[in-house]
Structure 1
Amino acid sequence: MIREAKDITLVLASNDKRSGNLEQELRSRVGELIKIDYDPIAPQYKYLAALLTYHPDRGVWWTRYQWHPVVQAGRRANVVKALKKLDRPFDALLMWGSWMHPVKNTAFQDKPFYYYIDQSCNKHLDPFDPVDAPGLDKPRLAFNRAQRESYEDAKRVFCMSQWTREQTLESHDIPESKAVAVGWGPIGINLSHESLSQNRTEKIVLFVGNEFLRKGMDYLREAIPKVVEQIPDARFIVVGENADHYELEPHPNLELTGLISDIEQLKDLYRRASVFVLPHRFERAGHVIIEAMTAGLPIVTSNQGGPPEVVHQGENGFVVEIGDVDGLAGSMVKLLQDAELAGNFGEKSREIAQNGYLWGNIADKMLSDILQTLP
């Protein structure tokens, strides 16, 4: 007999602040939700792993560190310690991220556990993936093996996107039924409950993201003159930190705001914008795209990762191939020149977000599977 969500106690373990949105929705649906953090790890694990994984390239060093078994042991120790402190039994453990097997060889190894992930560790170098680089071959294969063992013991591997699911099944020999795409949601901004005007008079193209090169900021910069040639008053507002130090050439129609910590200020930009653009090289899910969709914006994005699953070509935006600057520019021009088309696309964006890509939707899908797989 399948139990009711209100009858179970669920433990959510995370090291990611993004999990707060999911936590809130799950908490409102289950009998009790207990949140535990598996980072930071104890110093003895941290410093040993840092020594064992040292590499002169800090990016490679960081990834080797994250993947190292000593770090995973430290994280598992945190999970087990927190579970032992509980003064009541729990029914299931949900892991945000798949860094380690949470209960292997512990007193809780018979407890059902689940993962929620945006990507699995594959066996081969992906040149667009920022966590992949030469020098990671052996650590990647070792972590891939450890992750496969974890997935084999998990009840489900919840995936943010179909891309994540396919990438997971390609990376690991696990039953297809174990990997389940449940979607992803907005992180900082959710305007889905606001009554927004579709009559947006400012011709603003909005970009939100860090790691400019990975997010395709160079493609956008190359497209700007092509758009301005046809729409001289078009403005391009870029929000975020240039974390990968891309040398961005100035342009009179381009405004760089840097990071915006004031949520109301950021919401106002979403309300005023006419088009949202993310011409990325590599994107697992794209939380900012869902944020823009809740704001009723048409989207222009790249044909890679999760974004094409929510941007339906010719319905709520345009999907262009990676690096297709002419296609990128043409898509933005079309939406900036046709307010009615942009408004229709924006309404469809909001509909898609509300029907499957808010955190309540994701929580419902997860709980449906969890309840069916509990002993």
Structure 2
Amino acid sequence: MATGSEINIQIGDIISKNNQPTFSYQDTTWRAIKFFKENESDTFNYSGFNFLTDKQFDESLLYQEEIYKSGTILFTMSHWLEKFMKETTPFNVQYAGAGINIIPEKQDITRDKKTILFVGRDFYRKGGDLVVDAFKKLHCTDPEIKLFIAGPQYIPSNFKGDGIYIFNDVSSKKITKLMKQASVFVMPSRFEAFGISFIEAMASGMPIIGRNKFEMPYFVDQGSGLILNSDSSRNNEIDDLAAKINTILTDQHYLEKAEKKAKYITDEYSWKNVAIRMTNKTM
């Protein structure tokens, strides 16, 4: 999109000027989505691409890969996508990362040691239903535990109840405050190309719980938290998630480690560092 003499480049756009190399910046690719379509239907069905016809899907894949074949450098947001594309294609792929979009709250806010935070507009894709059911198991034995849910467009009534506080269309400022109030960020996404909410929570000093897919294990390795193991049984996932939430809520080590890592995460996941990584790969 051009504005005067300047050009606004959106994620996924191709830049080509004066016969110089072209660049693409992606959170995922059609090649990766095709893998899930053919091998992990449960994941693919939450991707948002499952409503395309086979013809639409194949045309999009072909078009994108024709661009990559022309010598385009593909910058990826995530390590998982870089690894996948390098292992399955001959294209020039480089990790660039992504940046935090909110400024961590600097105000001195008392952190509630028994509060869980879930953030996500797409309640089911982000695993909000699992978080609620895991919370309800814990709340039965400890009524002091609370769950903050921020940002969903819609939540069925059966996922509401005592101890659950729902903040629908909230501002980024409100989310930064919730990230300083809660003691664990939980978002076991079924499909998550990157997951900026994770790094924003980590930059706020929170331990996290994600799923053993996409970039989530890497986030946990860099910060503090635990990983939910995917299981074909929804009940098994709920039990596992409840146990992991309880572990973090009852072991101060996770929160202390997360608070120590917050500055590193803020520096590592800045858009400035994304630009530096891209520049270093193209000079």
TM-score calculated relative to the size of structure 1: 0.64
Q: How has the CA–CA distance of structure 1 residues 332 and 264 changed in structure 2, closer, same or farther, with 3 Å as cutoff? A: same
151, 159, 165: which one pairs with 1:255?
165
For residues 172-226 of structure 1, the C-alpha deviation after alignment (integer angstroms, 9 at most, x for no partner) is x324xx1111212222x2328x4867x6245211111111110001111210122
Say whether residues 1:330 and 2:243 are aligned partners: yes
| Aligned twin of 1:174 | 90
Q: How many Å separate the matches in 2 of 1:267 and 1:116?
A: 27
Superposed counterparts of 1:29-48, under 5 Å:
35-37=6-8
97, 105, 122: which one pairs with 2:12?
97
| Aligned twin of 1:370 | 282
TM-score calculated relative to the size of structure 2: 0.83
Q: How many Å separate the matches in 1 of 2:253 and 2:6?
A: 44
Displacement of 1:355 in angstroms is 4.8
Q: How many Å separate the matches in 2 of 1:362 and 1:135?
A: 32
Q: How has the CA–CA distance of structure 1 residues 303 and 351 changed in structure 2, closer, same or farther, with 3 Å as cutoff? A: farther
Displacement of 1:359 in angstroms is 1.7
Q: Is the 8 A contact 1:213 1:246 kept in 2?
A: no
- Equivalent pairs counted in the alignment come to 268
Say whether residues 1:278 and 2:187 are aligned partners: yes
Q: How many Å separate the matches in 2 of 1:238 and 1:287?
A: 16
- In the alignment, structure 2 segments of 5+ residues that lack a partner are none
98, 120, 131: which one pairs with 1:184?
98
Q: Is the 8 A contact 1:158 1:179 kept in 2?
A: yes
Q: Is the 8 A contact 2:153 2:169 kept in 1?
A: no
Moved more, 359-368 or 232-241: 359-368
262, 273, 276: which one pairs with 1:361?
273
Q: Is the 8 A contact 2:129 2:159 kept in 1?
A: no
Which structure has the greater CA radius of gyration? 1
Q: Which has the higher contact order (CA 8 A, sep 6+)?
A: 2
Superposed counterparts of 1:272-311, under 5 Å:
272-311=181-220
Superposed counterparts of 1:100-139, under 5 Å:
108=17, 110-122=19-31, 123-124=34-35, 125=37, 127=41, 128-129=43-44, 130-133=47-50, 135-139=52-56
For residues 121-176 of structure 1, the C-alpha deviation after alignment (integer angstroms, 9 at most, x for no partner) is 023525324232265222211211111111122442110111122343466x324x
Q: Percent identity?
A: 26
Displacement of 1:229 in angstroms is 3.0
Q: How has the CA–CA distance of structure 1 residues 113 and 141 changed in structure 2, closer, same or farther, with 3 Å as cutoff? A: same
Say whether residues 1:200 and 2:111 are aligned partners: yes
| Aligned twin of 2:253 | 341
Q: How has the CA–CA distance of structure 1 residues 174 and 264 changed in structure 2, closer, same or farther, with 3 Å as cutoff? A: same
Q: How many Å separate the matches in 2 of 1:363 and 1:344?
A: 31
Q: How has the CA–CA distance of structure 1 residues 35 and 96 changed in structure 2, closer, same or farther, with 3 Å as cutoff? A: farther
Q: How has the CA–CA distance of structure 1 residues 247 and 154 changed in structure 2, closer, same or farther, with 3 Å as cutoff? A: farther
Q: How many Å separate the matches in 1 of 2:282 and 2:157?
A: 47
| Aligned twin of 2:120 | 209
Aligned residue type for 1:181? Y
Give the aligned CA root-mean-square deviation in angstroms: 2.7
Q: How many Å separate the matches in 2 of 1:246 and 1:366?
A: 43
Q: How has the CA–CA distance of structure 1 residues 147 and 246 changed in structure 2, closer, same or farther, with 3 Å as cutoff? A: farther
Displacement of 1:114 in angstroms is 1.1
Q: How many Å separate the matches in 1 of 2:124 and 2:94?
A: 30
Q: How has the CA–CA distance of structure 1 residues 135 and 284 changed in structure 2, closer, same or farther, with 3 Å as cutoff? A: closer
Q: How has the CA–CA distance of structure 1 residues 170 and 148 changed in structure 2, closer, same or farther, with 3 Å as cutoff? A: farther
Q: How has the CA–CA distance of structure 1 residues 355 and 279 changed in structure 2, closer, same or farther, with 3 Å as cutoff? A: same
